[in-house]
Amino acid sequence: MVAENTMPVPPAPRRLAVESLRRLRRDALVPRLFGAIWCGVGAVMLVVFLVLADPTVDYSIRRNHETATGTVTEVTRRGNRNPYRIAYTFTAGDGVEYAGRSFSSKRRGLLKGDEVTIEYVPANPALSRIEGMRYAAIAQTMYLMALLFLVVGGMIWATGMVKFGRTRRLCERGSAAEGTVVAARWNKLMGMKTSRGTPRRILYEVRYRFRDDRGLERESTQKTYAVPDSLDFKEGDTITILFDRANPARSLAAEVLELEFTTDLRR
């Protein structure tokens, strides 16, 4: 049961005030922002790699190719981190001479005039590569790295959305209980500024204990971004806890989030 000196909580289902909803969205902004950044980096990498080279050509050559003997015409490299570019000429089965180039991350000891084995697509001999090398200037692992950024970014972004959804459900449908503050601190290394002209908000963390409806003691941490020194909870303070009866490990501290409720049924 909630003590009289704690926040009055309407019975569920209850409605959050607009400002409280904005605060919840702001607290979930950090993972969504990081997720969007990761997705953006991955998207830019993927576009650049696709512009530089088509990764499907190597697959086409590997799936269906014929071989011919070619002659190296040039071996170049731009910078120590770039792959070696080996240019060559060869005569395909149609009797026409073609020019091509392959890329390799390792120096193969090839010199101008050396003979090499060429793999080419019979229907389009212009698509060719030196055996053991690649047609694309970008290694396939780089494409995987770009995809990894996209996947991880999407997961981080989804985590923020899930966090917001769970927190909102707890606010609107959670059971109320009396909790006790164990410890509180400002984490000045974690901060964010949502818009120009607004003060920078710092991460505030409150550790608390409470008993669920079965009498079991639970302990958890509530985090929120707030203006420095705007919150001041001390060990032993009584606060209102909203928890999920089906999973009491999910809970939140109402006063720490500065929750406000409304009876406006139009929301």
Are residues 238 and 263 in contact, defined by beta-carbon separation less than 8 angstroms?
A: no
The pTM assigned to this predicted structure is 0.61
* Residue range 198-219, pLDDT digits in tens: 788 889 999 999 999 899 999 9
Q: Which CATH architecture has domain 54-137?
A: Beta Barrel (2.40)
CA distance 87 to 21: 61
For 94-107, how does the pLDDT look when each residue is reduced to its tens digit (9 = 90+)? 899 999 999 988 88
Rounded Cα distance, 13 and 24, in Å: 18
- At 111-133, the pLDDT tens digits run 999 999 999 999 999 999 999 89
Region 226-233: what's the mean pLDDT?
88
Return mean pLDDT, the chain.
Answer: 87
CA 55 – CA 144 distance, rounded (Å): 11
Q: Which residue did the predictor score with more confidence, 264 or 210?
A: 210
Alpha carbons 165 and 230: distance in angstroms, whole number: 26
Q: Where in the chain is the domain with CATH 2.40.50?
A: 54-137
